[in-house]
Structure 1
Amino acid sequence: MRTSSIPSLHSARRRWAAAPAAAARPEVRWPQRIADSRAARDIAARRRVRRTVTWREGMRCEVDGRELLNFCSNDYLGLSQHAQVIAALRDGCVEGVGSTASALVCGHHALHATLEREVADWLQAPAALLFGSGFTANLAVLQALLQGGDTCVQDRLNHASLIDAAKLSGATLRRYPHGDADGAARQLATHEGDGLALIATDGVFSMDGDVAPLRELATLARTHDPLLYVDDAHGVGVLGPDGRGSVADAGLSTQDVPLQLATLGKALGTYGALVAGEADLVGHLAETARGHVYSTALPPALAAASIAAVRIARTANDRRATLHALIQRFRDGANEHGLDVLPSTTPIQAVMAFDDRIALRMSQVLEDAGFWVSAIRPPTVPEGRARLRVTLTALHTESEVDALVDALARARDAAGVTPLSA
């Protein structure tokens, strides 16, 4: 009988033991890496801490056992607590809770289809596609549309999901100065080869609160033929006729902006996101966008709540009027107190601190006074651009806004910051 040519286990072990020490694998040091990263954040005053909310009633809530007035929520129209939205969620649970599968298997419920039709009709787009979140939607859209050899041109202050999506797509990412349509044109001019180009921008920028130059970008897209994609997470429900967002507010249509993102977790008060636009593009996403194809569909009951929220938001002109009046009141008060607030006509009002520790100090002084306003620091914003991100809602009152402005001025003084008017 022939002896097997396969080396014995014992001989393999002997060869491994005789190998030079230099070939040994380095010791795993994951705990040290995590500890070093945490220590670096501590030194830079950039630790993030989750806060626990026990209850909410209007804009008042209990946070870690303390009652605070919330000025950092994205619930711009107050629909997360609307009786009709809550009732729709409860009624939608009668048949069960989860969707049980992805949309292309058996998870696409009639309520999902209704929500897509209603959002498409509201935004005056031919079609819409539901995703689990705005972050997932942006990843899915850019990865489904872009590939190696393509170019993705983006505003420097775009949301992290758009930046990550372009990097993961394999396309070349080129970024232009914030709000600079001419800068976008210069970046497009560098596009070479046979690949396609896409311009992606926030509609309303989530940390500064200003609005993208959408008309200029749409003109650029018509001239140079890139696809224009607008993430309007913070614009839909707040801006434009019937709350249709920054695209409609700029007087643009699907012909100008073939795809736009509308999230459900901001002004609509629920959860999830939809991409609305040209039927062929939306159909392509439904078949190829990995975040849609390979993710369990949202619970049907949540879609029912979102349908109720969309129907309310379409006609909530009174809430929008209240919201915009409060925005102006805040800005007038901030100007009188010499607060350094970035230009914005949206519910997002950035009170600049610049220094990370000053931002944290001001936030803590505000909390001690009963106000919840988050300190925003890098990498969420650029270096040296720390701020307090104040967000206003239709559920706030004039007296609450006035009290906040007074408290902000006191917090600034406590942190040793010189007023602008000084």
Structure 2
Amino acid sequence: MSWPERVAAALALRRKSQTLRVRTPVRQGCGRFLTRGEQRWRNFSSNDYLGLSQHPAVVAAWQEGARRYGVGSGGSGHITGYSEAHRRLELRLAQWLGYPRALLFISGFAANHAVISALAQRGDRFIADRLSHASLLEAVSQSQAELRRFAHNSTAALRHMLEKPCTGQRLVITEGVFSMDGDSAPLAAIAAPTREAGAWLLVDDAHGAGVTGEAGRGSCAQAGVTPELLIVTFGKAFGVSGAAVLCSEALADYLLQFARHLIYSTAMPPAQAQAISAALEILAGEEGETLRARLQDNIQRLRNGAAALPLAASPTAIQPLIVGDNAVALALADSLRERGFWVNAIRPPAVSPGSARLRLTLSAAHCPEDIDALLEALHVCCE
């Protein structure tokens, strides 16, 4: 099969299975509303959980950073791209989350790939929750380490795998809050057997940092767990983009030497780091508490009104409405869009076959009337 034939066949298969992904350019995609051209929808697909992408202090910090540093970093952090803005953010993150060091990355995908690639050696065994993010599973599968996947949130399955002999090192991988189901990992119950086995724990808390735990410190703080590797991202509760790895002094120095994503990628703009720092101060302060309380009110309001709908049992901002069939999910998303609501249909391979869904995401930016209007539309569309 030639290259053009291979490409055409792959696309045809996606179209036939109704799993073809399509991008939609928008004027505004965060916050309470999504706008495209002259049309506007109530937005229930953004990960901007606390509405910080539109916060005046965060916007002003980026603008001030651009005036001070310019709009780019000029190189990798190992050359000229590591600024005082990056350094201040790393120090503040480490202090806030209770770690010796933090290292910034351009994205959560890059951070996960970098850590796995730098650590994995032949003979190692990386044991991941079956629903861990694609970036983690892909990184292990492309490394020299062996990948084992345990049943979702099953500590018994994890213990069984940890009992098996291994010639190398073991790393247990999970998420704090799972991105497609909205449920949380039993981190304390995962950390205990991991520690007993002499293995390390990596937690990707992209959807928990800033939202859960005391002062928004995330899933690990809420569970009283300090994994050897904590990944936080800035494109969700922080309202910006990028990521950081929290770890020990020695491991940070190791990653600076061997994490190719740090060495060979242009660093995030200093202005972006300055905006993230502004978002962090909001998250860690009284306003952050107010926003988290508002988000929890919105979550409870939706769940109280959705008792008759097939919502998954999620206590988080991610509220999956599981319908199973790809065509049904697409049709339901279209019906909601016609009624003024932007909700995306999530289909395989992002989720397992037969579990297509609408991934409803809530924000502190939503008003009670937004939630009530969505519930009314869902009840009509799901009849």
Give the superposition deviation at 1:192: 2.3
Q: Compute the displacement of 1:32 (Å).
A: 1.5
Residue 285 of structure 1 and its aligned partner are, at CA, apart by 1.2
- Shift in CA distance, 56/43, structure 1 to aligned 2, threshold 3 Å: closer
SS in 1 for 2:80: helix
Larger radius of gyration between Structure 1 and Structure 2: 1
Unpaired runs of at least 5, structure 2: none
- In structure 2, the partner of 1:121 is 95
Q: Secondary structure at the match of 1:39?
A: helix
1:156 and 1:177 in contact (8 A); partners too? yes
| Corresponding residue for residue 293 of structure 2 | 321
Gaps of 5+ in 1: 1-27, 414-422
Deviation at 1:188, TM superposition (A): 2.0
Q: Distance in 2 between matches of 1:75 and 1:196?
A: 37
CA distance in 2, matches of 1:144, 1:58: 36
Cross-structure match for 2:228: 258
Distance 2:164 2:225 in 1: 27
Report the counterpart of residue 275 of structure 1 in structure 2: 245
| Aligned counterpart for 1:147 among listed residues 121, 142, 150 | 121
Measure the CA separation in 1 of the matches of 2:16 and 2:270: 45
Secondary structure of the residue that 2:28 maps to in structure 1? Answer: strand
Partner Cα separation in structure 1 for residue 65 and residue 37 of structure 2:
31
1:362 aligns with 2:335: no
Give the corresponding residue for 1:234.
207
The answer on whether the counterparts of 1:130 and 1:273 sit within 8 Å (CA) in structure 2 is yes
Q: Indicate the structure whose relative CO is greater, using CA pairs within 8 Å and at least 6 residues apart.
A: 2
User: CA-to-partner distance for each residue in 1:133-168, whole Å, 9 max, x for gaps?
Assistant: 000000000111111100000000010000011112
Q: Structure 2 length as normaliser, TM-score?
A: 0.97
- Mark the CA change 1:191 to 1:153 in structure 2 (over 3 Å): closer, same or farther: farther
Q: Say whether the 8 Å CA contact 1:258–1:278 is kept in structure 2.
A: yes
Is residue 92–residue 302 contact of structure 1 (8 Å, CA) maintained in 2?
Answer: yes
What is the aligned residue count? 380
TM-score, length of structure 1 as denominator length: 0.88
Partner SS for 1:389? strand
The answer as to 2:209 corresponding to 1:209 is no
More displaced 10-residue stretch of structure 1: 131-140 or 61-70: 61-70
Q: Contact 1:54–1:65 at 8 Å: present in 2 too?
A: no
Contact 1:155/1:179 (<8 A) preserved: yes
How far residue 100 of structure 1 moved from its aligned partner, in angstroms, is 0.8
Matched, 1:411 2:371: no
State which drifts further: 231-240 or 65-74: 65-74
2:282 aligned with 1:309, yes or no?
Answer: no
Counterparts in 2 of 1:19-30, with a 5 A limit? 29-30=2-3
Partner of 2:16: 43
- 1:64 to partner: Cα distance: 5.2
Corresponding residue for residue 6 of structure 2: 33
- Between the aligned partners of 1:69 and 1:38, the Cα distance in structure 2 is 31
C-alpha displacement of 1:63: 2.5
Give the Cα–Cα distance (whole angstroms) in 1 for the partners of residues 318 and 22 of structure 2: 22
Query: Contact 2:74/2:80 (CA < 8 Å) preserved in 1?
Result: yes
Any conservation in 1 of the 2:162–2:194 contact (CA below 8 Å)? no
* SS, match of residue 136 in structure 1: helix
Q: CA RMSD in A?
A: 1.2
State the alpha-carbon separation in 2 of the partners of residues 325 and 246 from structure 1.
19
Runs (4+) of structure 1 exceeding 4 A deviation are none
User: Helix, strand or coil for the counterpart of 1:169?
Assistant: coil
Report which stretch shifted further, 343-352 or 59-68: 59-68
